[in-house]
Structure 1
Amino acid sequence: MPTDQALQILEQQLTFKHFTSVDALRWAQIVVARVQADQLKPVALRVVLDDQIILQYLMPGRKDAGWVARKVYTVRQTHHSSLYTFLHREEAPYRDWQTDDRYAICGGGFPLVIDGELRGAFAISGLVHDQDHALLVASLQQLQKEEAK
Protein backbone atom coordinates (compact mmCIF):
# COMPACT_ATOMS: atom_id res chain seq x y z
CA MET A 1 0.00 0.00 0.00
CA PRO A 2 1.43 3.43 -0.89
CA THR A 3 2.34 5.96 1.75
CA ASP A 4 0.37 9.17 2.08
CA GLN A 5 3.13 11.10 0.30
CA ALA A 6 3.39 8.58 -2.55
CA LEU A 7 -0.37 8.64 -2.98
CA GLN A 8 -0.45 12.44 -3.21
CA ILE A 9 2.31 12.33 -5.84
CA LEU A 10 0.26 9.85 -7.87
CA GLU A 11 -2.77 12.13 -7.61
CA GLN A 12 -0.68 14.99 -9.02
CA GLN A 13 0.80 12.87 -11.83
CA LEU A 14 -2.30 11.02 -13.03
CA THR A 15 -4.09 13.98 -14.55
CA PHE A 16 -5.19 14.77 -18.09
CA LYS A 17 -5.13 17.70 -20.50
CA HIS A 18 -8.39 16.40 -22.01
CA PHE A 19 -10.65 13.43 -21.33
CA THR A 20 -13.70 12.19 -23.22
CA SER A 21 -16.02 9.21 -23.20
CA VAL A 22 -13.72 7.63 -25.81
CA ASP A 23 -10.86 7.88 -23.30
CA ALA A 24 -13.11 6.32 -20.64
CA LEU A 25 -13.84 3.40 -22.95
CA ARG A 26 -10.13 2.92 -23.64
CA TRP A 27 -9.44 2.97 -19.89
CA ALA A 28 -12.12 0.30 -19.33
CA GLN A 29 -10.58 -1.87 -22.06
CA ILE A 30 -7.18 -1.59 -20.35
CA VAL A 31 -8.70 -2.60 -17.01
CA VAL A 32 -10.56 -5.57 -18.46
CA ALA A 33 -7.45 -6.77 -20.32
CA ARG A 34 -5.41 -6.57 -17.09
CA VAL A 35 -8.08 -8.43 -15.11
CA GLN A 36 -8.16 -11.19 -17.72
CA ALA A 37 -4.37 -11.41 -18.10
CA ASP A 38 -3.84 -11.62 -14.34
CA GLN A 39 -6.87 -13.93 -13.87
CA LEU A 40 -8.42 -11.64 -11.27
CA LYS A 41 -12.00 -11.68 -10.06
CA PRO A 42 -14.46 -9.67 -12.16
CA VAL A 43 -14.75 -5.98 -11.35
CA ALA A 44 -17.21 -3.14 -11.72
CA LEU A 45 -16.02 0.10 -13.33
CA ARG A 46 -17.39 3.62 -13.39
CA VAL A 47 -16.22 6.93 -14.81
CA VAL A 48 -18.03 10.13 -13.89
CA LEU A 49 -17.28 13.34 -15.79
CA ASP A 50 -19.01 16.64 -15.02
CA ASP A 51 -21.59 14.86 -12.83
CA GLN A 52 -22.52 12.42 -15.61
CA ILE A 53 -21.78 8.71 -15.64
CA ILE A 54 -19.99 8.41 -18.98
CA LEU A 55 -19.02 4.79 -18.50
CA GLN A 56 -20.14 1.94 -16.30
CA TYR A 57 -19.27 -1.66 -16.90
CA LEU A 58 -19.93 -4.75 -14.83
CA MET A 59 -17.76 -7.65 -15.92
CA PRO A 60 -19.60 -10.98 -16.19
CA GLY A 61 -20.07 -12.19 -12.62
CA ARG A 62 -20.45 -8.69 -11.11
CA LYS A 63 -24.02 -7.83 -10.20
CA ASP A 64 -23.76 -4.65 -8.17
CA ALA A 65 -22.31 -1.19 -8.75
CA GLY A 66 -23.00 0.13 -5.24
CA TRP A 67 -19.37 0.25 -4.20
CA VAL A 68 -18.25 2.13 -7.31
CA ALA A 69 -20.93 4.73 -6.62
CA ARG A 70 -19.69 5.10 -3.03
CA LYS A 71 -16.07 5.40 -4.18
CA VAL A 72 -16.98 8.08 -6.72
CA TYR A 73 -18.93 9.98 -4.06
CA THR A 74 -15.95 9.82 -1.69
CA VAL A 75 -13.58 11.16 -4.35
CA ARG A 76 -15.97 13.97 -5.25
CA GLN A 77 -16.27 15.01 -1.60
CA THR A 78 -12.54 14.88 -0.76
CA HIS A 79 -10.87 15.71 -4.10
CA HIS A 80 -8.57 12.79 -3.27
CA SER A 81 -8.50 9.10 -4.00
CA SER A 82 -10.66 6.96 -1.76
CA LEU A 83 -7.44 5.28 -0.54
CA TYR A 84 -6.39 8.68 0.82
CA THR A 85 -9.55 8.62 2.92
CA PHE A 86 -8.65 5.13 4.13
CA LEU A 87 -5.15 6.27 5.14
CA HIS A 88 -6.72 9.15 7.10
CA ARG A 89 -9.71 7.19 8.42
CA GLU A 90 -9.02 8.03 12.08
CA GLU A 91 -9.09 11.78 11.36
CA ALA A 92 -12.13 14.05 11.20
CA PRO A 93 -14.31 14.06 9.15
CA TYR A 94 -13.36 10.65 7.72
CA ARG A 95 -13.79 8.89 11.06
CA ASP A 96 -17.50 9.77 11.01
CA TRP A 97 -17.88 8.69 7.39
CA GLN A 98 -17.14 5.07 8.27
CA THR A 99 -20.77 4.58 9.32
CA ASP A 100 -22.25 6.62 6.45
CA ASP A 101 -23.36 4.44 3.51
CA ARG A 102 -22.64 7.20 0.98
CA TYR A 103 -18.88 6.89 1.48
CA ALA A 104 -16.32 4.19 0.81
CA ILE A 105 -13.39 4.37 3.21
CA CYS A 106 -11.25 2.08 1.09
CA GLY A 107 -9.21 2.08 -2.09
CA GLY A 108 -10.60 1.97 -5.60
CA GLY A 109 -11.72 5.53 -6.32
CA PHE A 110 -9.48 8.11 -8.00
CA PRO A 111 -9.93 11.74 -9.04
CA LEU A 112 -10.42 12.65 -12.69
CA VAL A 113 -8.51 15.92 -12.98
CA ILE A 114 -8.47 17.76 -16.31
CA ASP A 115 -6.34 20.89 -16.72
CA GLY A 116 -5.88 21.15 -12.96
CA GLU A 117 -9.60 20.95 -12.17
CA LEU A 118 -11.43 18.05 -10.49
CA ARG A 119 -14.03 17.11 -13.08
CA GLY A 120 -15.01 13.62 -11.98
CA ALA A 121 -13.80 10.28 -10.74
CA PHE A 122 -12.78 6.77 -11.70
CA ALA A 123 -13.81 3.76 -9.62
CA ILE A 124 -13.09 0.05 -9.58
CA SER A 125 -14.64 -2.46 -7.20
CA GLY A 126 -14.52 -6.22 -6.86
CA LEU A 127 -11.07 -7.02 -5.51
CA VAL A 128 -9.51 -6.38 -2.11
CA HIS A 129 -9.57 -2.59 -1.81
CA ASP A 130 -5.81 -2.04 -2.16
CA GLN A 131 -5.86 -4.27 -5.26
CA ASP A 132 -8.72 -2.15 -6.67
CA HIS A 133 -6.50 0.88 -6.13
CA ALA A 134 -3.41 -0.75 -7.66
CA LEU A 135 -5.37 -1.88 -10.73
CA LEU A 136 -6.87 1.58 -11.14
CA VAL A 137 -3.49 3.33 -10.89
CA ALA A 138 -1.74 0.89 -13.23
CA SER A 139 -4.49 1.23 -15.83
CA LEU A 140 -4.43 5.05 -15.64
CA GLN A 141 -0.64 5.00 -16.02
CA GLN A 142 -0.98 2.79 -19.09
CA LEU A 143 -3.64 5.09 -20.55
CA GLN A 144 -1.35 8.10 -20.04
CA LYS A 145 1.55 6.29 -21.74
CA GLU A 146 -0.62 5.35 -24.72
CA GLU A 147 -1.88 8.92 -25.08
CA ALA A 148 1.67 10.31 -24.93
CA LYS A 149 2.64 8.39 -28.06
Structure 2
Amino acid sequence: MQKLFRFTFQLRAPLTMQQANLVVPAVRALMEQEGLEPNYGQLEPKGEDQWMMSSWTADLDYDVFLDRYPGGSFEVWVKSVEEAKKQYGSTADLDYSVFLERYKGRSFEDWQKSVEQAIKQIVAEANPAAWASCEWRYSDDEDFEVLVYEDADDE
Protein backbone atom coordinates (compact mmCIF):
# COMPACT_ATOMS: atom_id res chain seq x y z
CA MET A 1 0.00 0.00 0.00
CA GLN A 2 1.29 3.44 -0.92
CA LYS A 3 2.21 5.53 2.10
CA LEU A 4 1.68 9.26 1.58
CA PHE A 5 2.61 12.29 3.62
CA ARG A 6 0.74 15.52 2.92
CA PHE A 7 2.26 18.88 3.67
CA THR A 8 -0.09 21.86 3.93
CA PHE A 9 0.76 25.46 4.57
CA GLN A 10 -1.12 28.74 4.64
CA LEU A 11 -0.01 32.31 5.09
CA ARG A 12 -1.19 34.09 8.20
CA ALA A 13 -0.57 37.60 6.79
CA PRO A 14 -1.12 39.00 3.30
CA LEU A 15 1.53 39.61 0.66
CA THR A 16 1.65 42.30 -1.99
CA MET A 17 1.60 41.10 -5.58
CA GLN A 18 5.33 41.84 -5.81
CA GLN A 19 5.99 39.70 -2.72
CA ALA A 20 3.71 36.94 -4.02
CA ASN A 21 5.67 36.96 -7.29
CA LEU A 22 8.78 36.16 -5.22
CA VAL A 23 7.16 33.56 -2.96
CA VAL A 24 5.15 31.50 -5.47
CA PRO A 25 8.04 30.50 -7.81
CA ALA A 26 10.33 29.85 -4.82
CA VAL A 27 7.75 27.56 -3.18
CA ARG A 28 7.15 25.70 -6.45
CA ALA A 29 10.90 25.21 -6.93
CA LEU A 30 11.29 23.95 -3.34
CA MET A 31 8.47 21.44 -3.76
CA GLU A 32 9.93 20.18 -7.03
CA GLN A 33 13.42 19.97 -5.52
CA GLU A 34 12.13 17.97 -2.54
CA GLY A 35 10.10 15.53 -4.62
CA LEU A 36 6.75 16.82 -3.40
CA GLU A 37 3.75 16.45 -5.73
CA PRO A 38 2.13 19.88 -5.38
CA ASN A 39 -1.31 21.36 -5.63
CA TYR A 40 -0.47 25.01 -6.01
CA GLY A 41 -3.40 26.34 -4.02
CA GLN A 42 -4.79 29.80 -4.43
CA LEU A 43 -3.88 33.45 -4.18
CA GLU A 44 -6.92 35.30 -2.88
CA PRO A 45 -7.32 39.10 -2.90
CA LYS A 46 -7.58 40.70 0.55
CA GLY A 47 -7.79 44.41 -0.21
CA GLU A 48 -5.83 46.66 -2.52
CA ASP A 49 -2.67 44.81 -3.60
CA GLN A 50 -2.98 42.38 -0.68
CA TRP A 51 -3.05 38.62 -1.33
CA MET A 52 -3.39 35.58 0.88
CA MET A 53 -2.06 32.15 -0.06
CA SER A 54 -4.27 29.24 0.97
CA SER A 55 -4.90 25.56 0.28
CA TRP A 56 -1.32 24.88 -0.74
CA THR A 57 -0.65 21.18 -0.32
CA ALA A 58 1.96 18.75 -1.50
CA ASP A 59 2.06 14.96 -1.23
CA LEU A 60 5.15 12.85 -0.83
CA ASP A 61 5.21 9.14 -1.53
CA TYR A 62 7.38 7.63 1.23
CA ASP A 63 9.08 5.42 -1.36
CA VAL A 64 10.26 8.58 -3.14
CA PHE A 65 11.78 9.78 0.13
CA LEU A 66 13.56 6.45 0.62
CA ASP A 67 14.88 6.55 -2.95
CA ARG A 68 16.37 9.97 -2.27
CA TYR A 69 17.62 9.22 1.27
CA PRO A 70 18.08 5.44 1.43
CA GLY A 71 20.02 5.61 4.68
CA GLY A 72 17.06 7.21 6.45
CA SER A 73 14.67 4.30 6.29
CA PHE A 74 13.06 3.72 9.66
CA GLU A 75 12.09 0.24 8.51
CA VAL A 76 15.73 -0.65 7.73
CA TRP A 77 16.72 0.61 11.20
CA VAL A 78 14.04 -1.58 12.83
CA LYS A 79 15.35 -4.60 10.91
CA SER A 80 18.91 -3.74 11.99
CA VAL A 81 17.82 -3.68 15.63
CA GLU A 82 15.99 -7.00 15.22
CA GLU A 83 19.06 -8.59 13.63
CA ALA A 84 21.30 -7.27 16.40
CA LYS A 85 18.96 -8.71 19.03
CA LYS A 86 18.99 -12.10 17.31
CA GLN A 87 22.76 -12.08 17.03
CA TYR A 88 23.73 -10.51 20.36
CA GLY A 89 20.73 -11.08 22.63
CA SER A 90 17.75 -9.08 23.75
CA THR A 91 19.81 -6.24 25.24
CA ALA A 92 21.34 -5.28 21.89
CA ASP A 93 20.12 -1.97 20.55
CA LEU A 94 21.08 0.57 17.93
CA ASP A 95 20.26 4.21 18.52
CA TYR A 96 18.43 5.70 15.52
CA SER A 97 20.75 8.73 15.40
CA VAL A 98 23.78 6.39 15.34
CA PHE A 99 22.10 4.43 12.54
CA LEU A 100 21.51 7.62 10.51
CA GLU A 101 25.10 8.75 11.01
CA ARG A 102 26.52 5.34 10.09
CA TYR A 103 24.47 5.04 6.89
CA LYS A 104 24.66 8.73 6.00
CA GLY A 105 20.89 8.91 6.24
CA ARG A 106 18.41 11.57 7.06
CA SER A 107 15.43 10.99 9.30
CA PHE A 108 12.01 11.74 7.90
CA GLU A 109 11.34 14.10 10.80
CA ASP A 110 14.52 16.07 10.05
CA TRP A 111 13.48 16.28 6.41
CA GLN A 112 10.00 17.53 7.39
CA LYS A 113 11.51 20.23 9.59
CA SER A 114 13.84 21.33 6.79
CA VAL A 115 10.90 21.72 4.36
CA GLU A 116 8.92 23.72 6.93
CA GLN A 117 11.93 25.92 7.68
CA ALA A 118 12.55 26.55 3.97
CA ILE A 119 8.90 27.60 3.43
CA LYS A 120 9.01 29.93 6.43
CA GLN A 121 12.30 31.44 5.21
CA ILE A 122 10.91 32.04 1.70
CA VAL A 123 7.90 33.85 3.17
CA ALA A 124 9.98 35.85 5.67
CA GLU A 125 12.40 37.02 2.99
CA ALA A 126 9.48 38.36 0.93
CA ASN A 127 7.66 39.92 3.89
CA PRO A 128 9.14 39.73 7.41
CA ALA A 129 5.70 40.50 8.90
CA ALA A 130 4.09 37.48 7.22
CA TRP A 131 4.35 33.95 8.53
CA ALA A 132 3.32 30.52 7.35
CA SER A 133 1.42 27.86 9.27
CA CYS A 134 2.56 24.32 8.39
CA GLU A 135 0.89 20.96 8.97
CA TRP A 136 1.65 17.32 8.03
CA ARG A 137 -0.97 14.61 7.51
CA TYR A 138 -0.42 10.90 6.94
CA SER A 139 -2.24 8.46 4.67
CA ASP A 140 -2.96 6.18 7.62
CA ASP A 141 -5.01 8.97 9.28
CA GLU A 142 -8.70 8.01 9.24
CA ASP A 143 -9.83 11.20 7.48
CA PHE A 144 -7.01 11.33 4.93
CA GLU A 145 -8.40 12.01 1.46
CA VAL A 146 -6.39 11.09 -1.62
CA LEU A 147 -6.22 14.20 -3.78
CA VAL A 148 -5.96 14.33 -7.54
CA TYR A 149 -3.70 17.20 -8.47
CA GLU A 150 -4.15 19.25 -11.59
CA ASP A 151 -1.12 20.36 -13.53
CA ALA A 152 -0.66 24.10 -12.93
CA ASP A 153 0.22 24.53 -16.61
CA ASP A 154 -3.25 23.27 -17.61
CA GLU A 155 -5.01 26.24 -16.02
TM-score (normalised: structure 2): 0.30
Q: Which has the higher contact order (CA 8 A, sep 6+)?
A: 2
Higher gyration radius (CA): 2
